Amino acid sequence: MNTTLREALANLQRDGLDRIDAQMLLLLAQQRSPHDRAWLLAHDGDAMDAETTARLAALVQRRQRGEPMAYLRGDQEFFGLTLQVDARVLVPRPDTETLVSWALDVLDGLPAGSRVLDLGTGSGAIALAIRSERPAAAVTATDASPGALAVARANADRLGLAVDFHLGHWLAAVPAQCFDLIVSNPPYIAEADPHLAALGHEPGSALTAGPDGLDDIRALAATAPAALNPGGWLLLEHGQDQAGAVRALLQAAGFTQVGSRTDLAGIERCSGGQWPQRR
């Protein structure tokens, strides 16, 4: 006798999956929207056929190996946008919405049509959120990974958001260009951080940055001034214990108005500063 959806849900929870994950996997196996839990409740007495059972087993195996649910779904919500994601890019985190909110506040104080640069765009999350919220801004985005840039371009095309994408390492991708706002969520995890074990399915090059996690942030603080118009801003996401170090790097590089923003948990998640009008 075939297993019902109700029985499958109970089995998954008994095997250690939390209820929400188990429901999403069942919906994916049914080839329904992972957000359609109301359907699942209404049909929990339905029996699964052999094909659905096989799909479920494969999904459960991937999830139990630690693969992010976003990769299994193929998408992730970010700042009101649904972004397609896969193993070529990091899964956009809610913490990064703090950086986008700060960028929008900065843009509100700049002239319409200001130029924005997102360095290391990954899925395009930051650049596309800014373009969606401030359509007058001219948004450019870069990434050193051709695979990541392909994901970002596909997201931009699907969402109908115009972003100028460039392949290359940090500012080398946009030589001799200047911007009014540079934003980045660079790698900032220390190479020996024990938390990396839980992130093994995501691209390591987008996660780690030297022994203390600050190598890329040091490089950006040092090189961004040459790509900023007078009065322009640099905003950086960083680790939960790095705000003081990042502020010090920005101040040493000559930025003013240096400060940090906290995420919803009250953790200093982003730091930034303004390049002086004149030096």
Within a domain: 122 = yes
Give the CA distances from residue 247 to residues 183, 230, 235, 241, 274, in Å, rounded to whole numbers and listed in that order. 15, 19, 11, 12, 12
Please give the pLDDT value at position 220. Answer: 95
Tens digits of per-residue pLDDT, 63-90?
Answer: 888 888 999 999 999 999 999 999 899 8
Within a domain: 20 = yes
Please give the pLDDT value at position 264. Answer: 87
**Residues 206 and 133 both lie in one domain:** yes
Give, in degrees to the nearest 5, the angle at Cα 28 between 8 and 69: 100
Within a domain: 76 = no
CATH of the domain at 223: 3.40.50.150
For residue 25, the enclosing domain spans 5-65
**Residues 133 and 214 both lie in one domain:** yes
How many other β-carbons are positioned within 10 Å of the β-carbon of residue 237? 26
Q: Is the pTM of this model over 0.75?
A: yes
Please give the pLDDT value at position 136. Answer: 96
Question: For all residues of the chain together, what is the average pLDDT?
Answer: 90
Pairing of strands 138-143, 164-167: parallel
**Residues 36 and 174 both lie in one domain:** no
**Residues 106 and 54 both lie in one domain:** no
**Residues 259 and 183 both lie in one domain:** yes
Instruction: Output phi, psi for 252, to 5 deg.
Output: -65, -30
Residue 137 and residue 43: Cα distance in Å, rounded?
47
Query: Which two structure tokens, joined as six digits, stand for 105?
Result: 């506040």
**Residues 155 and 39 both lie in one domain:** no
**Residues 23 and 132 both lie in one domain:** no
Tens digits of per-residue pLDDT, 138-163?
Answer: 999 999 999 999 999 999 999 999 99
Rounded average pLDDT per 10-residue block, the chain, 279 residues: 85 88 91 84 87 91 87 93 94 94 97 95 98 98 96 98 97 96 85 59 59 86 96 95 95 97 94 87
